[in-house]
Structure 1
């Protein structure tokens, strides 16, 4: 009997979409390290970004409109301020930073997705 392994088993190739899975796992881990105040904001920010995630959305414009981005952050702030005991300018700033980071991640995923299938 021949004990040699086929070439494809001896030198395993990385999976085609393994990089995306690793990047998503890394992002989820980093989000789990957020402070408590930031963790409370994640669902609101993700919900608002989910609402904007459609073909032709301003989210995917080359230069998203600053007014629309600020209005999006204001909607998030209005929802969170009802539950937060001491909302202030720091909360608005934190929402903006987290929302823009989430938008950047989703834009990157969208570009990578389009590149693979078109």
Structure 2
């Protein structure tokens, strides 16, 4: 059923099978919609690969610890430094598990006898070369990337649930 109402801001159209008649009806409709959203979210999480499910569980555990009044996750604009630190802490806990350990890049080059961060030796003749090229920036691992994405998504979901989308 489509219904419209006039307000001081103009004409609004809303599509709904149920038009709330009382504030209690509106609250019930809102709770039913939130429950349906939660069921859908749980369904999508059930489709994650097994490794990602384990990462998601660790992120949810961390967010449970951070879910208190005054937490930085509920700031109007959460601090990127705190978000990155939280993500690194989650990665450190996950790397204790053998499944999420990564081989450091330095170990890969130790076996070959070549240091990845040292320039090749200068040629024995010719003019001297300039300063060595700068070190390449440290690249994030796949684990840090996926933890960041899932952490931001979980924080956004909790903020919407807690403030009903008004933050």
TM-score by length of 1: 0.80
- Which of 1 and 2 has higher RCO (CA within 8 Å, sep 6+)? 1
**Equivalent runs, 1:6-25 vs 2, <5 Å:** 15-16=28-29, 17-25=31-39
Q: How many residues align?
A: 105
Cα pair distance change 1:103/1:27, threshold 3 Å? same
Could you tell me which residue of structure 2 aligns to residue 70 of structure 1? 84
Could you tell me which residue of structure 2 aligns to residue 106 of structure 1? 158
The answer to whether the 8 Å contact 2:91/2:147 transfers is: yes
Could you tell me which residue of structure 2 aligns to residue 95 of structure 1? 147
Higher strand share: 2
TM-score by length of 2: 0.57
- Cα deviation for residue 24 of structure 1 reads 0.4
Higher deviation after alignment, 59-68 or 87-96 = 87-96
Unpaired stretches in structure 1, ≥5 consecutive residues: 1-10
Please identify runs of 4+ aligned residues in structure 1 that moved more than 4 A. 11-14
Residue among 40, 45, 49 paired with 2:63? 49
Larger radius of gyration: 2
